[in-house]
């Protein structure tokens, strides 16, 4: 049996090689073939999920909701550290100092990340902005979102906090945050599908002990984590409930 593994497209492009290294490590540790497929968009990844082509996934919070509630996946681990938060950014020369300063016709740059975009839209509500009175510019990557602002082609952008903080000082010098979410409960998680039910405990133990070896610790650090922690079922259900509320 070959395990089909994928990762949410929300990760930075510079970590592509690190995920392949993780996949190789996992394959050797489990002594089973693992095929890593990295999709270019959330839509393409969701199509693969619908077709049953995913057995193991490092999922963004919105896809975690779909997979746990509708596809029978089980959350087994998450990175140690703060939860996922989103930020609305603008250029340093923008006259807007807070969300309420934004006006109808605002040009919005964003990726196709459903989690970031949903939360971002909620953060715009104090300015009474929505799909009907903003101009959306969809871009493939977060750095492209930032470039829209730097070139004056967009007024604001939606980003994960991690992506914004990961920009070089040169890029961040000309950007600033208007508002940052404070949800505190949504996170990316590793999910195991029904096809791997018999190996769930083995896989969980392996991920949770990664930091105990130099090799595993190095791989985690390259992916931006110090260690992986267990996920409690009730915490996942609470996160899914929060996401369902946000998505209404």
**In this structure, are 159 and 217 located in the same domain?**
no
* pLDDT, tens only, 89-105: 999 999 999 999 999 99
Q: Which domain holds residue 190?
A: 3-82+185-246
- Examine the domain organization and report whether 103 and 128 are in the same domain: yes
Both 195 and 176 in a single domain? no
Local confidence pLDDT in tens for the 248 residues of the chain: 899 999 998 887 788 999 999 999 999 999 999 999 999 888 889 899 999 999 999 998 888 888 999 999 999 999 998 899 999 999 999 999 999 999 999 999 999 888 899 999 999 999 999 999 999 999 988 889 999 999 999 999 999 998 898 888 999 999 999 999 998 889 999 999 999 999 999 999 999 999 999 999 999 999 989 999 999 888 888 988 888 887 76
Cβ of 94: how many Cβ atoms within 10 Å?
17
Residues 14-26 pLDDT 10s: 889 999 999 999 9
SS (H, E, C) 12-68: CHHHHHHHHHHHHHHHHHHCCCEEEECCCCHHHHHHHHHCCCCCEEEECHHHHHHHH
Cβ atoms of residues 5 and 37 within 8 Å: yes
Is 138 in the same domain as 120?
yes
Q: Are strands 106-110 and 175-180 parallel, antiparallel or unpaired?
A: unpaired
Do 74 and 92 fall into the same domain? no
* CA 32 to each of CA 11, 27, 36, 195, 215: distance values in angstroms, whole numbers, following the listed order: 25, 6, 13, 14, 19
Statement to judge: residues 97 and 170 lie in one domain: yes
User: What integer best gives the mean pLDDT of the chain?
Assistant: 92
CA distances from 72 to 42, 85, 162, 193, 242 (A): 20, 26, 29, 7, 19
45 with 96, same domain: the answer is no
Last residue of a domain, one of 180, 202, 229: 180
Residues 107 and 223 in one domain: no
Domain count, the chain: 2
């Amino acid at each position: 049996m070959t395990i089909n593994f994928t990762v949410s497209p929300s990760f930075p492009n510079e970590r592509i090689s690190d995920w392949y290294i993780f996949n190789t490590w996992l394959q050797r540790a489990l002594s089973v073939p693992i095929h890593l497929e990295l999709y270019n968009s959330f839509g393409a990844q969701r199509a693969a999920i619908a077709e049953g082509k995913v057995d193991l996934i490092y999922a963004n919070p919105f896809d975690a909701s779909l997979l746990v509630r509708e596809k029978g996946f089980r959350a087994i681990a998450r990175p140690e550290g703060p939860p996922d938060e989103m930020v609305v950014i603008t250029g340093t020369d923008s006259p807007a100092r807070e969300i309420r300063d934004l006006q109808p016709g605002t040009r919005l740059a964003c990726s196709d990340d459903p989690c970031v975009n949903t939360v971002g839209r909620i953060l715009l509500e104090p300015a009474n902005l929505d799909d009907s009175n903003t101009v959306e510019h969809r871009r493939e990557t977060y750095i492209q979102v930032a470039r829209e602002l730097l070139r004056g082609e967009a007024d604001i952008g939606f980003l994960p906090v991690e992506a914004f903080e990961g920009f070089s000082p040169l890029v961040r010098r000309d950007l600033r945050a208007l508002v940052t979410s404070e949800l505190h409960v949504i996170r990316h998680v590793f999910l195991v599908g029904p096809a791997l039910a018999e190996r769930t405990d083995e896989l969980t133990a392996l991920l949770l002990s990664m930091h105990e070896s130099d090799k595993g610790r190095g791989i985690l650090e390259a992916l931006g984590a110090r260690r992986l922690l267990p996920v409690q079922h009730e915490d996942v259900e609470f996160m899914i409930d929060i996401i369902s509320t946000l998505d209404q």
